Structure 1
Amino acid sequence: MSDQIKPSEVPLSTFDGVNSGDEMGSNSLLGIDKNLLIDASQLSIGAVICDGTNSIVYEGLYRSIPVAIKVIHPDRVSTVKSDVEKKFSREVLMLSRVKHDNIIQFIGAIVEPSMMIITELMKGGTLQKFLWSFRPDCPDLKLSLSFALEISRAMEYLHQNRIIHRDLKPSNLLLTEDKRKIKLADFGLAREEADDEMTTEAGTYRWMAPEMFSVAALRVGEKKYYDHKVDVYSFSMILWELLTNSTPFKGRSNVLVAYAAAKNHRPSIDKIPAPIAPLLESCWAESSEDRPEFKQITEFLGNFLHSICQSANIVPPPIFREAEYSINEEETNDIPVTDCLMDRSNGTRKKVPNLCLRFLRCFGYCL
């Protein structure tokens, strides 16, 4: 955020014809509660952060507080204006509903004369750029796993509230200025989970679950059944990136990436730490039913970080303390390590946290 930006220097009235008048009284437009709309006269626009296909994100100030401003550009969108407005409204309502330490904080929206979404400003940039800055090396393992844990917590929260993000990828994950904390952003494709079929025009092929498409091309708007486990698949690609600092299916076009995923091809796990490989493979399983829930993933990663702290003689945070876990050795004998994520007995799946911790303790000291 530039220190030169002042509220009086770049008034909103100079931006794309936006005036500073308060028209909010008539703007419970687009189904948006007027309480979610903010006073445009108190918003100032700064430099461009990123320029996307359908929007541009700027840094700015709202009541002297640094913010990010996402401006929707209908002229860039191939769909009709009513569809653009519907998607904008849905994103605003979705962001206003979610409140979690690892999800970007919604501040407000502006409807006229331009559609804008204002959120907290994350000065550390995207996870994608952070990883690029390290290549060809990898970030510290504990930091990568800490990011993965925070992402999992955010996704666990969304799924508990029946929200599917549908576009989980490194460019939609933002870092704090000290680059120690991560938050999920961009809810433009997020949906409430439906019990029937949902549209398929969602996501980015490199991180998209194969059940969202098929080898045969799908028309925009075509319906197909899938559930919240599509986010688990996307998470697996991000976890793989965090551990390898490589791009999944690097060098392949979108069409070839989709074809490979549909044929159950996955990135190599040769460089993945042995204790993490079963988690990764379960998350990108071909069948969504074989993928774990984020609650299980969160517990697994929390236990793993706990074991790393133990091996390095580091006092773990309270959430990872030994008192929170118990082990029954009779229950853990002769059980495959992959079963620490799933118990398939009687065709059901349930958490088996004790097995996870036993497995992690066996291998935690070799990292």
Structure 2
Amino acid sequence: MGARMIFRNYPSYNESDVEPFDFSISKELLLHRSDVLVGEMIGEGAYSIVYKGLLRNRFPVAVKIMEPSNSSVNKAREKMFQKEVLLLSKMKHDNIVKFVGACIEPELMIVTELVEGGNLQRFMTNSRRDPLDLNMALSFALDISRAMEFVHSNGIIHRDLNPRNLLVTGDLKHVKLADFGIAREETRGGMTSEVGTYRWMAPEVCSREPLRVGEKKEYDHKADVYSFAIVLWELVTNKEPFASVISSLVVPYLVSKGRRPSLENIPDEIVPIIGSCWAQDPDARPEFKEISVLLTNLLRSLSSNSSIDTTLPDEEPYDDEMEDSETRPLLQEYRCKVKKPKEKKKKKKVMKMRLPFSKKFKAWLYKP
């Protein structure tokens, strides 16, 4: 049974509104506002502010509060909030931020697990002087690919994949996908144009080709693959994409003309992966299932003498399944480019990944 409520106490609620929005969020997903203690601000977006918080005075959480809007657009904002809650509540994956619950009175609030390491953009900025360790960069990329693979398998397009929406765990070993505010189910009826963040936006999304009145832009989940290519390029280079472009508003024009960040000094093994992912033609881009295979094999090759674990718990590799797919030539082409490390070369020891939460909190957080 769904909860049908309106914002009697919400700051932007106006009794004169002709049609108050009725929520259809299951009661099982709702929290009592008194159970959530809001602390310091840790992030801010276009329509929301994120805070640290405590759930029932015991468990650390992240609290995303939608900023009040004026009454004329209140209903649209409420619909957006409901859609994000319903999508995020279904996204149960190790590399996607864990949904805890939501509040709809007296304010719009989404509560998730607290990912202690902050967003990936801040993490890279803080270490901008030095490139990330290649194993770390590719391990992060594999986490992202696996998350996006799961999202796409559920028929969802994220539409805003960029470092601000990727969170680093407290042990700096994992990355988790967050913010489904503009995500939507993939349909053939057309999509909203220019949704996302310009520097990571696919050319088919930010195309300036004129549309007829009422016509929508045609693009699909491959737009997320393009965004991933830009993120992968950032992870490997630890540089800002299109940094020489003064205004991000110019980026769509450059991208539409085939302009991409420089692949100079990118390891040879990674160049074809990035190049295929940001191909101008969406159909030429690989699926995330393929990307996960490529990154897994590359990491195994580069880290054969280290203790990095590149396979998530309870997840089997896709090698056997992918060998029989139509993408086998693509995989073989990439695999032959992977350089096997010399046996005598010493490898830097890396501690095995560990979970950033206490066992007690994890048991509560992931209870069935």
Give the shorter-chain TM-score range: 0.7 to 0.9
SS of equivalent to 1:282: helix
Structure 2 match to 1:34: 27
Structure 2 distance, partners of 1:197, 1:68, is 34
Structure 1 match to 2:353: none
Consecutive unaligned residues in structure 2, runs of 5 or more = 1-8, 13-20, 348-368
Quickly say closer, same or farther: Cα 1:196–1:203, change in 2 above 3 A. Answer: same
Taking the TM superposition and a 5 Å limit, the aligned residue runs for 1:44-63 are 44-63=37-56
Superposed CA RMSD? 3.2
* Contact 1:275 1:363 (8 Å CA) reproduced: no
Structure 1 match to 2:169: 176
1:215-274 superposed Cα distances (whole Å, 9 cap, x missing partner):
357899961010000000000000000011111111321221010111110010002101
The number of residues matched between the two structures is: 323
Quickly say closer, same or farther: Cα 1:196–1:351, change in 2 above 3 A. Answer: farther
* Contact 1:54 1:76 (8 Å CA) reproduced: no
Structure 2 match to 1:149: 142
Residue 180 of structure 1: how far off its partner (Å): 1.2
Taking the TM superposition and a 5 Å limit, the aligned residue runs for 1:70-219 are 70-75=64-69, 80-216=73-209
* Contact 2:302 2:341 (8 Å CA) reproduced: no
Instruction: Please tell me the residue identity of whatever aligns with 1:293.
Output: E
* Contact 1:285 1:291 (8 Å CA) reproduced: yes
Instruction: Please tell me the residue identity of whatever aligns with 1:307.
Output: S
- 1:261 matches 2:239: no
1:22-43 superposed Cα distances (whole Å, 9 cap, x missing partner):
xxxxxx9422111110111111
Structure 1 distance, partners of 2:126, 2:208, is 34
The more displaced of 160-169 and 46-55 is 46-55
Structure 1 distance, partners of 2:291, 2:97, is 21
Counterpart among 223, 231, 239 of residue 238 in structure 1: 231
* Contact 1:326 1:354 (8 Å CA) reproduced: no
Quickly say closer, same or farther: Cα 1:108–1:270, change in 2 above 3 A. Answer: same
Structure 2 distance, partners of 1:76, 1:17, is 9
Quickly say closer, same or farther: Cα 1:68–1:76, change in 2 above 3 A. Answer: farther
Structure 2 distance, partners of 1:152, 1:279, is 12
* Contact 2:51 2:64 (8 Å CA) reproduced: yes
Structure 2 match to 1:298: 292
Quickly say closer, same or farther: Cα 1:126–1:325, change in 2 above 3 A. Answer: closer
Structure 1 distance, partners of 2:248, 2:262, is 19
SS of equivalent to 1:88: helix
* Contact 2:118 2:168 (8 Å CA) reproduced: yes
Residue 325 of structure 1: how far off its partner (Å): 9.6
1:111-133 superposed Cα distances (whole Å, 9 cap, x missing partner):
11111000011111110011011
SS of equivalent to 1:46: strand
- 1:360 matches 2:353: no
| Greater relative CO (CA pairs within 8 A, separation 6+) | 2
Larger helix proportion of the pair: 1
SS of equivalent to 1:30: coil
Quickly say closer, same or farther: Cα 1:168–1:325, change in 2 above 3 A. Answer: closer
Structure 1 distance, partners of 2:194, 2:26, is 27
Quickly say closer, same or farther: Cα 1:68–1:326, change in 2 above 3 A. Answer: closer
* Contact 1:283 1:291 (8 Å CA) reproduced: yes
* Contact 1:201 1:220 (8 Å CA) reproduced: no
Quickly say closer, same or farther: Cα 1:185–1:318, change in 2 above 3 A. Answer: closer
SS of equivalent to 1:198: coil
* Contact 1:60 1:66 (8 Å CA) reproduced: yes
SS of equivalent to 2:302: helix
1:134-157 superposed Cα distances (whole Å, 9 cap, x missing partner):
112111110010000000000001
SS of equivalent to 2:338: helix
SS of equivalent to 2:69: helix
* Contact 1:45 1:61 (8 Å CA) reproduced: yes
Structure 2 distance, partners of 1:189, 1:254, is 20
Structure 1 distance, partners of 2:82, 2:187, is 18
Quickly say closer, same or farther: Cα 1:223–1:59, change in 2 above 3 A. Answer: same
Structure 2 distance, partners of 1:203, 1:154, is 18
Instruction: Please tell me the residue identity of whatever aligns with 2:306.
Output: I
* Contact 1:304 1:364 (8 Å CA) reproduced: no
Quickly say closer, same or farther: Cα 1:126–1:351, change in 2 above 3 A. Answer: farther
Structure 2 distance, partners of 1:207, 1:217, is 21
